[in-house]
Amino acid sequence: MVSIFKEDYSFMTKYLVFGHKNPDTDTIASAIAMSYFLEKQGEEAEPVALGEVNDETAFALNYFNVSAPRVVTTVANEVSNVALVDHNESVQSVEDLSEVTVDYVVDHHRISGFETAQPLYYRAEPIGCTATILFKMFVEHSYDIPKAIAGLMLSAIISDTLLFKSPTTTNQDENAAIELSKIADVNLEVYGMDLLKSGTDLSSKSETELLNSDAKNFDMDGKKVRIGQVNVVDFEDILARKSALLDQMATEFMAAGDLELSVLIITDILESNSIGLVVGNDFAAVEKAFKVPVVEQQLELPGVVSRKKQVVPQLTESYTV
Ligand code: MN
Ligand code: MN
């Protein structure tokens, strides 16, 4: 006799849900929101993080009274199935990703170096924030969003779009943020500036922390490029530390051994401009990508605020012959 039911009910899938290394506010908020979404769908899910939260994310978690997700460095020792948010590139994910089954991806980045053996739920949209996609998923399913989770999702949208000033911003992001601000019961503009400024006090940060708190690796036509980004409210204080930053970048560049280029994007969130600091063997690709000279390992990037849209594609194209 053949049963149409699973015989062993003791095995219930538990998902670990996580975003990229060096987590930002979207990665943390979306891991929490996606876990809640999966639980609404009857799954067991836990948000985890691939690193400690940054100051901005800590501000949002504290504001809405939510604990930071547990930090993990591997996942296969705990679960066999995972859900990815806010990333898909294996170089940005957990080290043992190849040892687990990815059943869900919700993301708003380019797709690179990602493949699975099994079919999966994969939702990618070219909009400003993963949390906006999740907001749409909640709406589509008529799921309520608890106040604290709405506040975190709102924070993610503010963070990723720099309060709608990034060219990655779409109407969907603005509309989602407005709706989420109502649920979270905050003034969007006031809370938004407070949140963004909470991530700009760099005085207590070491050079290593500045370089790595929001750094990501990218494969560009077989070349490995590391791009970090820091937000400031003016360039003066951070440029006073330029030589120390370049020294540390050079040290990390040599230690990595396989890097083609290391970039630090310093973004003035009030003026929507950036300055780049670069370490590498050759800056021809950088000058070609941004059509500006590299002078003393520094380049001006006027109007640039988005790594995803205004840095990665240009550099990738420059490296791709
Ligand atoms: Mn992110
Ligand atoms: Mn994001």
- pLDDT tens for 135-187 read 999 999 999 999 999 999 999 999 999 999 999 999 999 999 999 999 999 99
Dump pLDDT digits (tens) for 58-100. Answer: 999 999 999 999 999 999 999 999 999 999 999 999 999 999 9
Centre of ligand 2 to C-alpha 90, Å, is 16
Q: Is a pLDDT exceeding 50 seen at residue 7? A: no
pLDDT at 281: 87
From ligand 2's centre to the CA of 155, what distance in Å? 11
> How confident is the prediction for the chain on average, in pLDDT?
94
pLDDT for res 227: 97
What's the mean pLDDT in 292-320?
Answer: 96
User: Which of 250, 180, 219 lies closest to 315, judged by CA?
Assistant: 219
Centroid of ligand 1 to alpha carbon of 5 (angstroms): 40
In this prediction, residue 9 carries a pLDDT of 46
**Single-letter amino acid code for the residue at 307:** R
Output the CA 26–ligand 2 centroid distance in Å: 5
Structure tokens at 132: 């906006």
Assess contact for 84 and 21: CB atoms under 8 A.
no
**For the packed helices 25-40 and 130-140, what is the interaxial angle rounded to 10 degrees?**
20
What does DSSP assign to residue 264?
E
Q: What are phi and psi of 31, to 5 degrees?
A: -65, -40
Q: With bands split at pLDDT 50, 70 and 90, how would you rate the model's confidence at 228?
A: very high
> pLDDT tens-digit profile of 190-218?
999 999 999 998 988 999 999 998 999 99
Q: Three-state SS string across 13-72, please?
A: CEEEEECCCCCCHHHHHHHHHHHHHHHHCCCEEEEEECCCCCHHHHHHHHHCCCCCCEEC
The residue whose two tokens read 């911003």 is 169
Closest ligand, as measured to the CA of 157:
2
Cα separation, 242 vs 224, whole angstroms = 23
1 pLDDT higher than 60: no
Query: How many angstroms separate the alpha carbon of residue 159 from the centre of ligand 2?
Result: 8
Q: Alpha carbon 287 to chain centroid distance?
A: 26
Q: How confident is the model at residue 4 (pLDDT cuts 50, 70, 90)?
A: low
Cα 258 to chain centroid, rounded: 23
- The pLDDT value recorded for residue 45 is 97
Q: Over 80: is that where the pLDDT of 2 sits?
A: no
For the chain, strand residue ranges (E) read 14-18, 44-49, 70-71, 81-85, 101-107, 121-124, 216-220, 223-232, 259-268, 273-280, 298-301
- Which own/partner contact pairs does 62-71 have at CB distance under 8 Å and 24+ positions apart? 63/151, 63/155, 63/191, 63/195, 64/147, 64/148, 64/151, 64/152, 64/155, 64/184, 65/148, 66/32, 66/148, 66/149, 66/152, 68/28, 69/18, 69/28, 69/31, 69/32, 70/46
Ligand closest to 128 (CA) is 2
**How far does residue 87's CA lie from ligand 2's centre (Å)?**
8
